[in-house]
Copies of this chain bind each other. A is one copy, B any other.
Amino acid sequence: MEKIRLGLAQINTTVGDITGNTEKILESLERASKSGVDVLVFPELSITGYPAEDLLFKMHFIEDNINALNEIAKHVPKSMIAVVGFVDLDGDLYNAAAVINDGKVVAKYHKNYLPNYGVFDEMRYFQKGNKSLVVKFDNIRMGITICEDIWYPGGPARDESLYGDAQLIINLSASPYYQNKLVWREKMLSTRANDNLAIVAYVNLVGGQDELVFDGASLVVNENGKILARAKQFEEDLLIVDVEISNVDKARLKDPRRRQDKLLIKKEELETLDIVEIQFTKNMNKPIIESRIEPIFQEVAEVYNALVLSTRDYIKKNGMKKAVIGLSGGIDSSLVACIAVDALGSENVIGVSMPGPFSSEHSKEDAKALAENLGIKFLTIPITNVYNAFIETFKPVFEGLPFDTTEENLQARIRGVILMALSNKFGWIVLTTGNKSESSTGYSTLYGDTAGGYAVIKDVYKVLVYDLSRYVNEKAGKEIIPERVFVKPPSAELRENQTDQDKLPPYEVLDEILKLYVEEDYSLEEIVEMGFDMETVKNVASMVNINEYKRRQTPPGPKITHRAFGKDRRLPITNGYKEWKFLKK
């Protein structure tokens, strides 16, 4: 029976805050030590936070990170091996893991596979590592990998387990959340564990960082691909689990695949494998700790929690406390207010109703009812006097010209100015309320409803906005968002009898087209072949393209889909590829 106790320190780091991250690491070390943890693993780049982006071009930042590592090392006892993500400067720069024992860094691993797609730009900063690493202690062989490494069927995990006979593969990760990723990730980790007949311990970052949110849910899978333990989703956690290494050795006696594959070993492959032995003194003081498999959230609840965590972290990590939201009485701003309350507490959220010349009575009532249901401060600041002053001011220039989108946008911009004035005067951050269906099609007013510090639901399609809002009421067990908000037709209320559907297809149709076009890059021909109306498809594609300039000037907000606007989808503004003009009837 060769048991070891693993600790997975799922911490919420802040990019750049080396001091704060180091403190968190030291706290975890102390807690884990008390719990008799043998091997304590931290997420990828724990010391610097992830992704540190161009901070990595500052030599003094790199040096501060190495000083922090040396400080952390001093606190690792002889009875523990800690594996900490840091930036290594060793001739070139590497995304690295330090293996620490008895006050010293005893081995270093450099990430082999550098992601440079989607939201990732690691080839901008790092040299690729070209070695794998197995750490031997007692009769255990532990292979080290970092994030992307484990997403490849070959690579270091394979080399370490096959050529280095590692029974345990650890993975330091910073894997940004999007819908349905967790299920896929856990399948993949199970497959890797079983393919390599090794226990896999995957330690994920948790927390929000600008447009990214890391969902945690760190995982330990045994050699059969069975989940042994899972940490909380969207919360810091220290997951402790005892794993039975000897089971791996037993399983390997019976599986033919490793023996066959070992015959294919090439000399060069063996040369890239480092094996480091540690004289490790096991801590015999092991309180009984039951491992746990924390539940994962269901689809809608999962998104909701992602939005809450990213909103909370953006605001707190940027040193703010209170948020202000323009409440229109519509579904989007209602949902954002609920998220803000869950992120910050009702005492830190301010709702503002800004009725204008075309605001309906029910909108004003619904905004007020929502604020009451949430128990938040509620202000009413009418825009009509300012609107009239603008109209008067424009008279000499606009003489004789009809009411058009100018006057519609004007109302939205006055509201933007009011919210920003409240922000300036009281230090509140403005949360914007536009959803992904709107930002895709440019159905918004730049510097109007797009004005603010954080765009909470910018990556949430309208249909999902409704689902999330239903979830809010279900979760509360009562009406938080008034029922009327769900049933009335969505409207910006910027002219008489306006509804969103005057300009947009029904959201059920729009959202499906957007997923195919924006996220999956299908051609318009293909989308039409799937059964969508040609004129609608053309119209949607044209709106998506000509509004790229607006999206460039909107605040950041959390990525929750496979492909969000922002770092994840980098389209030029000046773009002559006008697909919709080529589509034939």
Q: Using CB atoms and an 8 Å cutoff, list the residues of chain A in contact with chain B.
A: 14-21, 49, 51-55, 57-61, 116-117, 121, 123-124, 208-210, 313-314, 317-318, 379, 381-383, 385-386, 388-390, 392-394, 397-398, 401, 404-406, 409-410, 413-414, 416-418, 420-422, 424-425, 446-447, 451, 453, 521, 523, 525, 549, 552-556, 569-579
Contacts and interface: CB of A to CB of B under 8 A. Distances in A.
A463 B570 CA distance: 33
A139 B416 CA distance: 69
B424 A574 contact: no
Number of copies: 2
A382 B393 contact: yes
A431 to B, nearest CB: 13
Contact of A521 (B59, B382, B553): B59
A390 B386 contact: yes
A425 B421 CA distance: 26
Contacts of A318: 549, 573-574
B406 A424 contact: yes
A233 to B, nearest CB: 21
A409 to B, nearest CB: 6
A333 B189 CA distance: 58
Given A389-B385, A570-B121, A17 B576 contact: yes
B521 A390 contact: no
B386 A576 contact: no
Contacts of A555: 549, 552-553
Contact of A18 (B116, B422, B556, B577): B577
A317 B573 CA distance: 10
A392 B388 CA distance: 13
A394 B424 CA distance: 13
A317 B576 contact: yes
A572 B420 contact: no
B549 A453 contact: yes
Contact of A425 (B16, B382, B398): B398
A413 B409 contact: no
8 contacts: A15-B575, A59-B523, A121-B570, A123-B123, A210-B573, A413-B417, A553-B555, A556-B573
B425 A401 contact: yes
Contacts of A60: 523, 525, 579
Contacts of A57: 521
Given A16-B577, A20-B576, A420-B447, A570 B390 contact: no
Contacts of A313: 574
Given A398-B425, A424-B405, A577 B453 contact: no
Contacts of A569: 54
A406 B572 CA distance: 34
A58 B523 contact: yes
Given A55-B571, A573-B556, A385 B381 contact: no
A16 to B, nearest CB: 3
A577 B116 contact: no
A123 B61 CA distance: 25
